[in-house]
Structure 1
Amino acid sequence: MQDVTYETALARSGALEVLAAYDPHIVGTLPLDIAIPGSDIDIACHAPDPLAFASAVWTAFASCERFSIDQWVGGGRPVVASFRILDWDIEIFGAHVPVREQPAWRHFDIERRLLDLVGPGLRSDVMQLRLAGLKTEPAFAAAIGLKGDAYVKLLELQTLSDHELASMTASLRL
């Protein structure tokens, strides 16, 4: 891992302050403590006006190392920007829907809940699967025995209560 924590790199970038008007949320493996070498800092934002969002991101980060920015052609035309600071890659995703409705947040939410409910054995299993090459969502799906499209199946689990999730995963507790 890097010599500088992701929190330090994030603070140095000023990203959360620059993006404050876009309801930024850190998602992904770092806050879940399941990062592996090469993990990046993922920030999900609510960007109802993609052009204004792209302009704000461009103005703030275009001078950063490895800066790039793209806008999708469909799905509300979300904007994805990335850059590097203090040996950390940062990826910013801005979509027209509120962050809590975006798939990245929804995956993050269910993964956090599963880790809290199942216990340290799940974190260990997910880490082993990730280190073996699986992406995060497929690693979670494999660790808890979900069949089918991991991304879809995890989103389906998000609608369950903690009690329902606990019942479903009772045999996994280590």
Structure 2
Amino acid sequence: MINFKDIIYLKEGTVRQKEAHKVLLELNLFELLKNFNPILAGTIPINIDVESSDLDIICQSENHEDIVKVVREKHGKLPGFEVKTIPSYKNLKTTIITLEYKTFPIEIFVQNKPSEEQDSYLHMLIEYQILLKNNEDFKSEIIALKQQGLKTEPAFAKLLGLEEDPYEALLNYGYEKGYIS
């Protein structure tokens, strides 16, 4: 299994993964965010990204202003820089910092919850396991659904026949199959 907590795996990946690795190094994002347990999540790490896919970095922080200050000081002048705080997502304060660099939109997603326990990381682990258990046709169908505008979790839920809320259904599926514990 890939160690998704260390972005070094991107160096040996697809062209897009290599580009992502280069961008993350140029921005020095993982060093900048090291005190906030950063993990690259989403579709690029598991190679089901589409042209519009962003770099999703999840982080943990008790004080969201700390991480906003760090990112703003270093990258606040980059195009698309914006900070949004969502009062409560699953009873967790969530802050999303967005910016753009080269060909990548970047989203830094902050919660007061260990990064390894955040839904987006768990979804990625489950999706990765599902991709490993299925053939290339399944992967191609996921990508095709994403190209048609479907988000990742709903695309997986559709192909797996999961009918409830796709985000919760995917988590439940992952627990049932033992992909996460």
The answer, yes or no, to whether TM exceeds 0.5 is yes
Q: Which amino acid aligns with 1:56?
A: V
Report the more deviating stretch, 87-96 or 57-66. Answer: 57-66
1:18 to 32, 35, 38: 32
Any idea what SS the aligned residue of 2:176 has?
Answer: coil
The answer as to whether partners of 1:27 and 1:104 remain within 8 angstroms in 2 is yes
The answer as to whether partners of 1:25 and 1:99 remain within 8 angstroms in 2 is yes
Q: Which amino acid aligns with 1:145?
A: G
CA-CA distance at 1:160 after TM superposition: 2.8
Q: Which amino acid aligns with 2:161?
A: G
Could you say which residue in structure 1 is the equivalent of 2:83? 69
Could you say which residue in structure 2 is the equivalent of 1:120? 136
1:150 to 166, 170, 176: 166
What RMSD over aligned residues (CA atoms) do the two structures have, in Å?
Answer: 1.9
CA distance in 1, matches of 2:176, 2:62: 28
Could you say which residue in structure 1 is the equivalent of 2:146? 130
Deviations 1:37-85 (A, max 9, x none): 1111000001122121222222222121211112222333221101111
Q: Which amino acid aligns with 2:166?
A: A
Report the more deviating stretch, 9-18 or 118-127. Answer: 118-127
Any idea what SS the aligned residue of 1:159 has?
Answer: helix
List gaps (5 residues or longer) in structure 2.
1-14
Question: Are residue 31 (structure 1) and residue 45 (structure 2) matched?
Answer: yes
Identity of aligned residues (%): 27
Question: Are residue 79 (structure 1) and residue 95 (structure 2) matched?
Answer: yes
Report the more deviating stretch, 13-22 or 152-161. Answer: 152-161
Q: 1:64 to 1:150 in 2, by over 3 A?
A: same
List gaps (5 residues or longer) in structure 1.
164-174
Deviations 1:96-155 (A, max 9, x none): 000122111111111111111223222111111112221101111111221121111001
CA distance in 2, matches of 1:54, 1:77: 14
Could you say which residue in structure 2 is the equivalent of 1:47? 61
TM-score (norm 1): 0.85
Greater relative contact order (Cα 8 A, min sep 6): structure 1 or 2? Answer: 1
TM-score (norm 2): 0.82
Q: Which amino acid aligns with 2:99?
A: F
Q: Which amino acid aligns with 1:48?
A: E
Map 1:92-107 to 2 at 5 A: 92-107=108-123
Count, aligned residues:
162
